[in-house]
Structure 1
Amino acid sequence: MTRKTDLRDHAHAMPHHNGRTELIYDITPITFNQLDLLSAGHPQGGFQQTGHMAHLAEPDVDDMDLIGVTRNGVLSAGCLIAWTRGRLGLEGSIWLGPLCALDDPKLLEHITRGIRLAARRRHAVSVTCWPNIEYQRHDADGNPIGAPDTMILDAYRSCGWKHQGFDTGYGKVVNRWNWIRTFDGIKDERTLLASYKPRTRWSVNRAKTSGVQIRELTANDLGMFASIEQKTARRRGFTARDENYYRRFKETFGSRAHFMLAEIHAGELLTRLTAEYDKLAERLDLLRTQYENHPTSRIKRQEDDITRNLTAMEHRLNEARALASRGSVIPVACALFVEHRREIVYLTAGALPEYRSYQAPALLVHEGMLRLCVNRSRMPRFNMYGITGVFNDPDDEGRGVLEFKQGFDGHAEELVGACTLPTSTIRYKLVEAVHAIKPLKKAGR
């Protein structure tokens, strides 16, 4: 689908007065492989700026361009542009890109020139990018850490980009607010669990002792994953992808996509709880015999404790019997983790509410961190993805998601947000006028 347009542009070397030569910048089309290599080694790299993402998105867009900038022959900046048709013409999107360090202003100037050139060749209205650059870091409670990086906005504005503002809420295209977990000092599962908040640690242990087990799915085994996702979407009011999409995702990203399914092994749980109940009952009978022969307050306390434990165990046994009547293995939750050289992304998840008490989502995240980050010393960053950026409103739509993610420790990452490059001034102004009219109509209703 990616069209081979002639995007080459050269900034020729010029000698300095001291005899040294300036850097040479070339704007050039790049291949999927070149984009992947750039993304893998770039501090702004992510799975959304890869050839894998281009192949996945192909059915949903009109066309694509891959553009790079070389500096003295070395690829130093680049991006994937996805083109979709709006009311007044093509509009470009650069998801979590372009990949362009800001320590060399010439790089951003040239990648912007390349983007503008590609847009004009396609007679596009505009291009919107979402740079994968941290604007402001916040602690777990939302308090700013340090000062915002306003130089990002200055650099983009100087190249003609228009910043779309600092918003909160879930992003419609790209999340501006994400929850990030790192693993300094975390060596194994014990230290990982110890870093969680007590409630989250309890949830993980509760899932483990309630028969919840995690397994990874193959491309041909994604029906249940899609089913749980769709039920979750209907409950929460968003549109879910179908099984074919997730199969394409797995086929495209291969071993980089980890589809995890949480299942309650009800048969095993019932067998284990029955054995534990019988063992407690035997212990209770023994204590009663001892008390009859030699009554003491110590034996009585032990007898009362075990009686209470048996009552609780009987309740869990009844739950396990009800579960086992539905099947020996019951799927209850799912999650998709995407692997990139720079991070693991917790991309999407779903859960069936009738099994909420089994805490499967907590175990899914824990296993994702443990298997894909802690057990791999080269993977120091776990991106739990979107939060709303609202920390002080208990009624905020994302409150439950925020509290869930806060429980695993970490911090909030506020990205710079959307920047738009108008490439057809008249049509872009018309688009802006239409967007300005819509809120006025809503207000007048």
Structure 2
Amino acid sequence: MTRSFEELTTAEFEAFAQTHADGSYLQTASQARLLARRGWQTRLVGLVEDHKVQAAAVLGWIPVKMGNLFQIDGGMLIDFSNQELVTEFVAGVMAFAKEHRGLFLRIMPNAIYRKFNDDGDQIGTDNRTVIDALTAIGFTHTPATQGWTTNSSPSWQYVKSLQPVLDAGGDSKALRASFAKDGKYYLKKTDQFGIKVHRLVKDELPAFKALTQDTANRLDYHDKDLDFYETVFEEYGDDAYFVFAEMDFPAYIKGQQQARDHLAEVVANLDTRISEKPNYKKLKRQRAEYADQHKQHEKRIAQAQTARQEAGKDVVVIAGALFLATANEMIYLYSGTYDEYKNFYGPYAVQEYAFKQAVARKIPNYNFYGISGVFDGSDGVLGFKQGFAGHAEEKVGSFIKPINSTKYAVYRFLKKILARG
């Protein structure tokens, strides 16, 4: 039978998208609803053969000068090695777009061009399948670029496979054992500090917005508005994890005091032994080490007491993040940290919480999302994510094809003139 390009029901689309290897939160019915509430027109479209979906996408469009920009972000969900299928799907999109004043079509596939280890060395070979499939039918390709963007999906991302953890039974020990040295160290610290993590209810979203805005102001980037976060909460439902890491100052101070007092006893015992064996250098080295640890706990107690007084409350938010779950991956999307509490390592506790949710849901991949694509040590975000032992990926970039060639040429010309002005 011949294939037909059709609008899909939510059930038809989700049944296909949730099992597709390239599925992401960008290609879900929830994302289509979110885009619609943010001013986009959206449709769930696909190629159907014998009542079975062969390819699908969230197709969105929005007005620009001289027509509508049509866009498929994170898709389409298709076998790009099947040129006939790709050609037919794009033809269906183009025909639909022409009926809706389409000016040009932009596709940003959720496809990986190259993979890299933590040193920036390439793993394996280039994957040109998507590039070749789309350029063969007239798309102009813009490769991924290094650097940061908050306006679109990142060109570079850091990911980790959870399949080995799932294969090992998925318990917390197997999960933490899979992390790198730094991740294990700082998570041990959050255990010692008694950092607590909880999932937010909708009434707590203004506090989440306050956290992310504080971080955006400090790092000089544009944060999403509260309405966006509320829309995500409503449209993604159980698949949206808004999370806070909190410090309980009385509990923290009590734990530090207990550790300090224990070390004081150890030092006193060593003093007694040293008085009996004054020439035993090993005892003196041990005393110096434990005495230094004692001072560190004293310092932490003093810092926490000051912070508690300044906060005017016993429990404070120290970090938070938003994660979105699909059948294929748990993705780390937006986050914030209060700078005055950075020494409590809240972001590590938040990440481990999301990892545990992913494992509980048997999600095989964890996506830390954006990095700069620079491996010279200047990307602190990459350094943080490397603490959880994954690898970097460079996406294939974006692709543009005119829908109305004459108007698109004028549109491009006007953009260049305005840019010069």
Q: 2:403 maps to what in 1?
A: 423
Give TM-score, length-normalised by structure 2.
0.90
User: After the TM superposition, which residues 21-420 of structure 1 pair with which residues of structure 2 at under 5 Å, given as runs?
Assistant: 23-171=1-149, 172-186=151-165, 187=168, 188-285=171-268, 294=276, 297=280, 303-325=287-309, 326=311, 327-369=313-355, 371-376=356-361, 378-392=362-376, 394-395=377-378, 399-420=379-400
Q: Which residue identity does 1:39 align to in structure 2?
A: A
Q: 1:169 is paired with a residue of what secondary structure?
A: coil
Structure 1 segments unaligned to the other structure (5+ residues): 1-22
Aligned-pair CA distance for 1:192: 3.4
Percent identical across equivalent pairs? 25
Do the aligned residues in 1 keep the contact of 2:144 with 2:395 (CA within 8 Å)?
Answer: no
Q: Which residue identity does 2:46 align to in structure 1?
A: G
Relative distance call for 1:421 and 1:218 in structure 2 (3 A) is same
Do the aligned residues in 2 keep the contact of 1:262 with 1:331 (CA within 8 Å)?
Answer: yes
Q: Deviations over 1:342-391 (max 9, x none)?
A: 1100111111111111111122112222x123444x31210111112222
Q: Deviations over 1:308-356 (max 9, x none)?
A: 3322221111122123322211101111110000110011111111111
Relative distance call for 1:300 and 1:97 in structure 2 (3 A) is closer
Give TM-score, length-normalised by structure 1.
0.86
Moved more, 242-251 or 408-417: 242-251
Do the aligned residues in 2 keep the contact of 1:211 with 1:264 (CA within 8 Å)?
Answer: yes
Write the distance in 1 (CA, Å) between the matches of 2:411 and 2:125. Answer: 34
Aligned-pair CA distance for 1:403: 1.5
The one of the two structures with greater contact order (alpha-carbon pairs below 8 A, sep at least 6) is 2
Do the aligned residues in 1 keep the contact of 2:178 with 2:389 (CA within 8 Å)?
Answer: yes
Do the aligned residues in 2 keep the contact of 1:346 with 1:383 (CA within 8 Å)?
Answer: yes
Q: 2:26 is paired with a residue of what secondary structure?
A: coil
Aligned-pair CA distance for 1:45: 1.1
Aligned-pair CA distance for 1:419: 0.9
Do the aligned residues in 2 keep the contact of 1:61 with 1:83 (CA within 8 Å)?
Answer: no
Aligned-pair CA distance for 1:277: 2.6
Q: Which residue identity does 2:196 align to in structure 1?
A: Q
Structure 2 segments unaligned to the other structure (5+ residues): none
Relative distance call for 1:235 and 1:299 in structure 2 (3 A) is closer
**Alpha carbon RMSD of aligned pairs, Å?**
2.3
Write the distance in 2 (CA, Å) between the matches of 1:324 and 1:340. Answer: 39
Aligned-pair CA distance for 1:130: 0.7
Q: Which residue identity does 1:179 align to in structure 2?
A: Y
Write the distance in 1 (CA, Å) between the matches of 2:179 and 2:154. Answer: 24
Do the aligned residues in 1 keep the contact of 2:193 with 2:255 (CA within 8 Å)?
Answer: no
Do the aligned residues in 2 keep the contact of 1:32 with 1:50 (CA within 8 Å)?
Answer: no
Do the aligned residues in 1 keep the contact of 2:32 with 2:43 (CA within 8 Å)?
Answer: no
Do the aligned residues in 1 keep the contact of 2:330 with 2:367 (CA within 8 Å)?
Answer: yes
Relative distance call for 1:306 and 1:383 in structure 2 (3 A) is closer
Aligned-pair CA distance for 1:180: 0.9
Write the distance in 2 (CA, Å) between the matches of 1:361 and 1:401. Answer: 11
| Bigger Rg, structure 1 or 2 | 1
Moved more, 180-189 or 418-427: 180-189
Q: Which residue identity does 2:162 align to in structure 1?
A: F
Relative distance call for 1:288 and 1:400 in structure 2 (3 A) is closer
| Number of residues of Structure 1 aligned to a counterpart in Structure 2 | 412
